[in-house]
């Protein structure tokens, strides 16, 4: 009888655990369905030589802010940048033009790159918010 009770208890825990895992997975789904993926490709960061200079938008570049340079998106556009390798994401505001390195889709401020684990060049996906 004790063995049967133990088996039933383990079965109950398994079922409860499965429900918990299912709920956790469901919560991991993106909450914001209004995100529109607009681009994928290599991203880099810029800053040391540009910190304190004027950006194309006219504001002063601060490598410690969550900003980025993009060739065509309007200034002020908010973009979610996801590092494909780590899955980490950051929301940046476009305030400059670039990147000028061939093939790159976005240049991130140092703070933005660090937030998603990019220390040189990384593969990212961009979603406009």
Nearest one of 50, 106, 56 to 82, comparing CA atoms: 106
For residues 10 and 55, membership in a common domain is answered with no
State the total domains in the chain. Answer: 2
Q: Do 11 and 63 belong together in one domain?
A: no
Parallel, antiparallel or unpaired: strands 78-83 and 89-96: antiparallel
Quick one: average pLDDT of 60-81? Answer: 96
Shared domain check, 58 and 26: no
CATH of the domain at 90: 2.40.40.10
Shared domain for 16 and 58, answered yes or no, is: no
pLDDT digits (tens, 9 = 90+) for 99-123: 988 899 999 999 999 999 999 999 9
What is the extent of the structural domain holding 89? 36-128
Query: At residue 25, does pLDDT exceed 50?
Result: no
pLDDT at residue number 6: 43
The angle formed by the CA atoms of residues 37, 24 and 20, to the nearest 5 degrees, is 160
List, in order, residues 6 or more apart from 47 with CB less than 8 Å away. 61, 63, 109, 110
Residues 4 and 55 in one domain: no
User: Encoding tokens for residue 87?
Assistant: 């899955």
DSSP notation for 102-127: TT-SEEEEHHHHHHTT-SSEEEEEEE
């Amino acid at each position: 009888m004790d063995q049967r009770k133990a088996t039933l208890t383990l079965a109950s825990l398994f079922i409860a655990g499965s429900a918990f895992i299912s709920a956790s997975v469901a919560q991991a789904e993106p909450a914001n369905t209004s995100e529109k993926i607009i681009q994928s490709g290599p991203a880099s960061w810029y800053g040391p030589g540009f910190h304190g200079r004027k950006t194309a938008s006219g504001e002063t570049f601060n490598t410690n802010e969550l900003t980025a340079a993009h060739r065509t998106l309007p200034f002020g556009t908010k973009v979610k940048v996801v590092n494909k390798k780590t899955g980490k994401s950051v929301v940046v505001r476009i305030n400059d033009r670039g990147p000028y390195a061939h093939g790159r889709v976005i240049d991130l401020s140092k703070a933005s790159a660090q937030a998603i684990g990019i220390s040189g060049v990384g593969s990212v996906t961009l979603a406009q918010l």
